[in-house]
Structure 1
Amino acid sequence: MYTDVFVSRPNNLNKDQEQIMLRIEQLLEGRGMRARTIGKTDFPNVSPMRAVEQLMRQCSGAVILGFPQTLIQKGISKPGTDNERNIGDVLLPTPWNHIEASMAYMLDLPLLVIRNQGIEGGIFDIGTTGHFIHTFHLEKQEWIEKPSFLQPFNAWHKEVLTNSKENS
């Protein structure tokens, strides 16, 4: 029997990102957890927001993966304000990362937040939730085996087991 974990991730990934997703899913499965994601493992017949809520209520933890989904090569941040500034080569995650992380936070699910180097804003800002934000070059697979990731992952895993829906 698996402990279900919600995984916030884009549905469209490049080949390197797919490889990392496979490794993360294997790591979860090796600890008795099953990754669940709208549009990948679950295909509900309700609105996306309702589907996320329903699925999260079945899960005992959440992983938020900030993969780059948009590259702004040149733009303006906060146009027309005193804080207006030129920006370039800005990476953005899927907006669903912020929505799903907020929902998981409100449901008091143990959170594991992982972002690609360069992803910032919202859930990926240090101090937003009180949880550590793990930052790696996600396409480089060696980070997933390093103690700097595995030790916090193991601590999160313990929280998930304590929160397990099976224990309720």
Structure 2
Amino acid sequence: MYNDKILVFLSRPNPFLDVHQYFISKLQEQFDKYNIQTVTLQADNYDLTDSINYLKGMIKQCYGIAIIGFKQIFIETGSKKKGGRENPTFYYPNEIDISGQALTSPFCHIEGTIGLLNDLPLLVINEEGVREEGIIKGGKFCVKTNKFNLSSIDSFFDDKTVEQQIAVWAGKVTEYYLFLNLKKV
């Protein structure tokens, strides 16, 4: 435990705008209401030869995982499945125009998946305009909030629906924490 709080892993691209750090601070304020403290892998901790093992160790100490899908990569002009066309033997083989879309860090997918493999409650929070695929698309396995806009962060956190979505996830984290720690007593 860290400062007698419940640890959750925070997956997000490294902040490169002041508003990113502001968003993270506002999110931590929400988590404080539920006695939740975040830990994350800092940019200087990434080592291409051993990042996954380091991540696994960090995440195994946590009781939940939260992903912030900040825009990190912008695709001016692009396509997915270039040259693909209708073919009944393939799953969605057609070429898709992805011009004007943004992607978040691939580490959000990796870290989120490691969390799911450890049965951790997952929270997904995406910035408007981030292409939703993979783990950040969400689904039955996670709690997903409304999307946020960096120009209206305070409004996002004042939204009662978002507050409820975070509360549902925090409840799952607390349940998991109590379940695992009451067994140890």
Same fold, TM-score > 0.5, yes or no: yes
Query: What amino acid is the match of 1:22?
Result: S
| Equivalence for 1:56 | 59
* C-alpha separation in 1, matches of 2:138 and 2:96: 21
* C-alpha separation in 2, matches of 1:145 and 1:167: 34
Mark the CA change 1:56 to 1:147 in structure 2 (over 3 Å): closer, same or farther. Answer: same
Q: Are the aligned partners of 1:3 and 1:59 in contact in 2 as well (CA < 8 Å)? A: yes
Report which of the two has the higher share of strand: 1
**Runs of 4+ in structure 1 over 3 Å off:** 42-46, 165-168
1:89 and 2:92 correspond: no
Secondary structure, in 3 states, of the residue corresponding to 1:88?
A: coil
Larger Rg: 2
Unaligned runs of 5+ in 2: 86-93
Picking from 94, 106, 115, the partner of 2:117 is 106
Q: Are the aligned partners of 1:20 and 1:138 in contact in 2 as well (CA < 8 Å)? A: no
TM-score (norm 1): 0.89
Picking from 4, 19, 26, the partner of 2:29 is 26
* C-alpha separation in 2, matches of 1:48 and 1:115: 24
Offset at residue 10 of structure 1 (A): 1.1
Report which of the two has the higher share of helix: 2
Query: What amino acid is the match of 1:28?
Result: F
Q: Are the aligned partners of 2:145 and 2:166 in contact in 1 as well (CA < 8 Å)? A: no
Offset at residue 132 of structure 1 (A): 4.1
1:159 and 2:172 correspond: yes
Q: Are the aligned partners of 1:3 and 1:166 in contact in 2 as well (CA < 8 Å)? A: no
